[in-house]
A and B are shown apart, each in its own frame.
Chain A
Amino acid sequence: MNTSIPYQDISVAYYALAAVVMPLIAFFINVCLPGKTNKASGWVSTLAIFTSAVLSALVFSKIWGQQPLHIQQLWFTIGASKLYAGVLLNNLSVILLLLVSLIALPVHIYSTAYMSHDASYKRYFSYLSFFCFSMLALVVVDSMYLFYAFWELVGFSSYLLIGFWFTKDKAVYANKKAFIINRIGDIGLLVAIIILFTQFHTADIVQLFGDNGLVTQSFIKNGMWLAPASQLPAVYQYIACTGIMLAVAAKSAQFPLHTWLPDAMEGPTSVSALIHAATMVAAGVFLLGRVYPIFNTAELNALAIIGCFTAFMAATIALTQNDLKRILAYSTISQLGFMIMAMGIGAYASSLFHLVTHAFFKCLLFLVAGIVIHQMQHIKEENNLDIDPQNILYMGGLRKKLPFTFIAAVVASLALIGLPLTSGYLSKDGILIQAFEWSDSKEWYYRLIPIGAILASILTAFYIGRLIVKVFFGEFRLQKINPHIHIHCNDGGWQFKLPLLFLTICCLFPLFSWNPLVYEHAWIFSAFSGPGFLERVNIYHTIIPAGANLVNILVIYFAYSIYVKRNTFTFDQTGFFFRLSYHEWYIDRFYNAAIVKPILSLSNASSWFDKNIIDGFINLLKNIVLSISKITAGIDKYIIDGFLHLLTAIVQLIGNFARNFQSGKIQYYLFSMLAVILALFILKTLI
C-alpha cells in the first residue's frame, strides 16, 4: 500500500470500495437467484444500494472539504512503466459517490413497484445493480485506464437497460443507436488517454491533473507541447482535447452526438430517471471536472459554444414535442448543455453544483412521468384504447387524480426553471451570472453565449410550463374524446410516494444553502470554488436572477394562458420554426441521409462485393482446384493403377501358364523335362 498523504484514515477508502462493490454483489446474487420474476431480487438490489448510500454518506462526511485521500497499489508492470490501480477520493468523487447512491436508492424503491408486473423483474434489477456498480466505480477510480474501463461498462449497462424490452423493435434500434454513438466518444477518450500516457508516462489522475500536476506544468511553445519530461508536437494536445470533448459530447448528449438520448427513452422510465437523466449522462461533466486543467482558453471557448448551442437547440426542440419522456429528454440535453457551457466559461463550481441539483429534480420529473405513463397505460388497457400512453395531448386535468404526483412535478419544474426557493435557482442563476461576467471582458460576440443561455432558460420555463399545464391542468382530453371510459387513477403505494417525497425535499433550497436567494453561499459551490471566489462584485448578481425570474414567471403565465384557456391565440403549426423544432432540427434526418445511409450502402456494396467478387473468386479457385483434382484422380485411376493392373494381369497370365505344368501327371513332368533337356542340347549344338 502506497499512500500519497500519510496520517490519514485509510479505512475511509475501504468504505468507499465497499460502497462500490455492494451493487456488484447484488448483481451476482440476483444472477444466481432462481425464477424470472423473483421478488427477492428487487430487495437485494435495494438493500445493496441502501448500504452503498450509507457508506457513501460516511465517506462523504470524512472527505468533504478535507484533504483528498488517494490510495493505490501496483496493478501490473509493462516494460518500464508501472501501472497503478487505486481509489481517489476528493471533493468531486465523494459528492458524485453520494449523489449517485442517493439518486439510485429512491429509483430502486420506485422500481420495485414500477416494474412489479414485468416478466423480467429479476433481469431488470440485475442490470440496475450492475449499472450502479459501474457508475460508482467510475467516480472513485484514480487511473485513466480504470476510468475508461468503467466508462465503457456504464455505456454497456445503459445499452442493456435501453434495450430492456428487447422484443420492441424501437427499443432495439434505440439501444443500438446509443451504443454506436457512445462508441464514437469512447474512441475519443481512448485516443486522449493514449496521448496523455505518451506525453506524461502515467495514467494516474492525481499526477496528471492534480494541483501542480503534470498537465498544469506542461505548456505549448513554438508549436511544441512541452511537459517536464518529454515533448510532443502541439497538435497532439489539440487531438487529446478533441477526444475528450467527443467523449463528453457522446456521454453527456451534447451536439452533435446528442441524438441517442431522446431515443434512449425507450427503456423503462425508472431507468431513464436514473441513467439518462441523473447519473450516467452526468459522467461526461464529471470527466470534464476530472481533466479540467488540460483545456486551454480556446478549447474552453469551444466547450462553451458547444454547451450553449446544445442548451438552446434542445430547449427549442422540447417546445413542440408531444411525447412526455421526449420532452424531458430534450430538457436533460439542454441542462447538460448548461453544465458544459459552465465548464467552458470557467464556472467549474457552478457546473458541478448544477450537476447535483439537476440530478435530483430531473430524476424526480422522470419518476413523475413514470407514474403518469403508468396510469395512462392502465386506462388504456382497461378500456382497450388505441393510444400512446406517453402522448401529452391525451392527458390533462390529472392534478385532481394524482395530487401527490402533481405537487412533486410542480416543485421539480420550478427547480428546473430556476425559481427562487428551489435548488435550481441556486445553481442555474450562478451559471448565468458567471456567463455574463465572463463575456464582460471580451469582444462583443462573446455576448452571444450568455444571451443564448438566457434564451434557453426562458424556453425552459415555457416548455416545462407547457408540459405541466397539458398534463395536470385543464380537462382530461382522453375523457373528452371517449366520454364513456372508466378511470381509476391514484398516486400509487408507498414505493411511489416515498421516493417522490425524498426527491421533492432534495429539490428545495435548504439542502444546499441556508440562503434561498444567494447562490454563493451554497456549500457545494463554495467547496469547489474556494474561499473568496466570486464575491458579489457587480450588478449582474442582482439584476440577472431578478430579471430572469421575472421573465420566467411571465412565460409560465403565458404558457398557462395559452394551453388552459385556449383563447389568446394558437400557434401556427406549419411555420418553418415549428417544423424545425418538431422535427428536432432535422438532425436525425440529416444523420440518416448523410451518415447512416452512405454507411449502409457502403456496407451493402461491400457485402455484395464480398459475396460476388471475393466469394466468386474463391469459388472459381475452388472449381479450378476441384477440376485439377478430378484430373489427377483420373490419372491415378486409369494410368497408374492401370499400369499396375496390367502388370498383375501379365504376371497372372504367366503364372496360369506355368501352373499348367503342375498338372500332377508324372509323365507330363517327365516329358517336359525331356523337352527341356533336348532344347538345351539343341541350343548347345547350335551355338
Chain B
Amino acid sequence: MMSLTDFLVVSAALFCIGLFMVVSKSNAIQILIGIELMLNAAILNLVAFGKYDRLNNGGQLFALFAIVLAAATTAVALAIILNVYRRYKTIDPNKVDKLRDE
C-alpha cells in the first residue's frame, strides 16, 4: 500500500530537481524543462491530495486543467525562446542580460 507520504516525497524530489535545473542550467530549453518538472511536482501533489476530496476526482480534474495550462505556457515560453534566439543568436540566459541595470 502506497501512502500519501511516498507521493509527497516523489513530488518534493521532482520539485527539487526542477528547481536545480532552473537555477543551474545554461540552456533556456533545459530551464523550461526544469519549470515543467516543478509544475508536474505540483500536479502530482494535487492528484495525491485528491484522495481526501469530498467530491470524487476533483483533484484529477484540476490536474488536467493544470496540464493544459502548462502546455499553453510552455508554448508561449518556447515562442519567447525562439524570439530571443533570433535576436541574440544564443539561448544561454547568462548572456541574455540586457534587462539589468546598466
Cβ B100 vs Cβ A663 within 8 A: yes
Task: Report yes or no: B101 in contact with A667, Cβ–Cβ below 8 A.
Answer: no
**Residue A565 CB within 8 A of the other chain:** no
Q: How far is the CA of A663 from the CA of B19 in the complex (A)?
A: 20
A671 contacts across to B, CB distance below 8 A:
23
Chain A residues with CB under 8 Å of B101's CB are: 659, 662, 664
Secondary structure dominating the interface of B: loop
Task: Please give, as numbers and ranges, the residues of chain B lying within 8 Å of A481 by CB-CB distance.
Answer: none
B24 within 8 A of A: yes
**Residue pair A667, B100 in contact (C-beta under 8 Å):** no
Contact mask B10-35 → A, CB, 8 Å, 1/0? Answer: 00000000010011100000010000
Q: How far is the CB of A669 from chain B (nearest CB, A)?
A: 10
A667 touches B24 (CB 8 A): yes
User: Which of B56-64, B70-78, B90-98 is near enough to bind chain A?
Assistant: B90-98
Q: Which 4 pairs, one residue from A and one from B, show the smallest C-beta to C-beta distance? A: A664-B100, A664-B97, A662-B101, A666-B93
**A670 to chain B: which residues have CB within 8 Å?**
22-23
Q: Does A665 contact B (CB under 8 A)?
A: yes
Known: A665-B94, A667-B24, A670-B22. 20 other contacts (CB 8 A): A662-B100, A663-B97, A664-B96, A664-B97, A664-B99, A664-B100, A664-B101, A665-B97, A665-B100, A666-B93, A666-B96, A667-B22, A667-B23, A667-B31, A667-B93, A667-B94, A670-B23, A671-B23, A674-B19, A674-B23
A644-667 contact mask (Cβ, 8 Å, vs B): 1 or 0: 000000000000000100111111
Write 22 A-B pairs (CB below 8 A) sorted by A numbering: A659-B101, A662-B100, A663-B97, A664-B96, A664-B97, A664-B99, A664-B100, A664-B101, A665-B93, A665-B94, A665-B97, A665-B100, A666-B93, A667-B22, A667-B23, A667-B24, A667-B93, A667-B94, A670-B22, A671-B23, A674-B19, A674-B23
A671 CA to B31 CA, complexed, in Å: 13
Determine how close the nearest CB of chain B comes to the CB of A365; give it in whole angstroms.
108
Complex Cα gap A670–B25 (Å):
12
Q: Of residues 39 to 94 in B, which have CB atoms within 8 Å of A's CB atoms?
A: 93-94
Q: In the complex, how many residues of chain B place their beta carbon closer than 8 angstroms to a beta carbon of chain A? A: 13
- A664: chain B residues at CB < 8 Å are 96-101
In chain A, what residue has the closest Cβ to B94? A665
Interface majority SS (helix, strand, loop, mixed), chain A: helix
Contacts of B97 in A (CB 8 A): 663-665
Chain B positions within 8 Å of A667 at CB level: 22-24, 31, 93-94
Q: Which residues of A contact B94 (CB under 8 A)?
A: 665, 667
Q: How far is the CA of A22 from the CA of B99 in the complex (A)?
A: 99
CA distance A662 to B98 in the complex (A): 11
Closest A residue to B24 by beta carbon equals A667
Smallest Cβ distance from A667 to chain B, in angstroms? 5
What are the residues of chain A within 8 A of B23 when measuring CB–CB? 667, 670-671, 674
> For A666, what are the chain B residues with a Cβ–Cβ distance below 8 Å?
93, 96
Q: Residues of A with Cβ closer than 8 Å to B?
A: 659, 662-667, 670-671, 674
Residues of A within 8 A of B100 (CB): 662-665
The distance in angstroms between the C-alpha atoms of A674 and B94, with both chains bound, is 18
Q: A80–B35 Cα gap in the complex (Å)?
A: 109
Chain B CB count within 10 A is highest, among A663, A664, A674, for A664
Residues of A within 8 A of B19 (CB): 674
- Chain B residue numbers with a CB within 8 Å of A665 are 93-94, 97, 100
Bound CA span A674–B20, Å: 11
Least CB distance from A658 to B in Å reads 10
Inter-chain contacts of A674 with B (CB < 8 A): 19, 23
* Complex Cα–Cα for A665 and B24 (A): 12
Contacts of B22 in A (CB 8 A): 667, 670
B80 to chain A, nearest CB (A): 12
State how many angstroms separate the Cβ of B97 from the closest Cβ of chain A: 3
Q: Which residue of A lies closest to B28 (CB)?
A: A666
Q: In the bound complex, how far is the Cα of B93 from the Cα of A670, in angstroms?
A: 12
Distance in angstroms from B45 CB to nearest chain A CB is 17
CB B12 to nearest CB in A, in angstroms, measures: 14
Q: What CA separation (Å) do A232 and B23 show in the bound complex?
A: 116
From B97, which residue of chain A is reached at the shortest CB distance? A664
Q: How far is the CA of A664 from the CA of B88 in the complex (A)?
A: 14
Query: In whole angstroms, what is the CA distance A409 to B23 when docked?
Result: 134
Minimum CB–CB distance for B63 against chain A, Å:
25
Q: A666–B95 Cα gap in the complex (Å)? A: 10
Q: Nearest chain B CB to A576's CB is how many angstroms away?
A: 112
Q: When chains A and B are docked, how far (Å) is the Cα of A670 from the Cα of B101?
A: 17
CB of A218 to closest CB in B, whole Å: 104
A625→B53 CA distance, assembly (Å): 88
**Minimum Cβ distance to chain B for residue A319 (Å):** 112
Closest to B26 in A: A667
**Which chain A residue shows the least CB distance to B95?**
A665
Q: How far is the CA of A588 from the CA of B19 in the complex (A)?
A: 120
Distance (Å) between the CB of A174 and the closest chain B CB? Answer: 90
Residues of the A chain whose Cβ atoms lie less than 8 Å from the Cβ of B96: 664, 666
List A contacts of B98 (CB < 8 A). Answer: 664
Give Cα distance in the complex from A429 to B23, angstroms: 141
Residues in B with CB closer than 8 Å to A663 are 97, 100
Chain A residue contacts of B99, Cβ below 8 A: 664
| Cα–Cα, bound, A412→B100 (Å) | 119
Give bound CA distance, A671 to B19, whole Å: 9
Q: Whole-angstrom distance from the CB of B89 to the nearest CB of chain A? A: 17
Give Cα A670 to B19, complex, Å.
Answer: 9
Max count, chain A CB within 10 A of own CB: residue among B22, B96, B100: B100
User: How many angstroms from the CA of A670 to the CA of B31 in the assembled complex?
Assistant: 11
- A667–B27 CA distance with the chains assembled, in angstroms: 11
* Chain B: minimal CB distance from A179 (Å): 85
CA distance A665 to B94 in the complex (A): 5
List chain B residues, Cβ under 8 A from A662.
100-101
Closest chain A residue, CB of each to CB of B100: A664
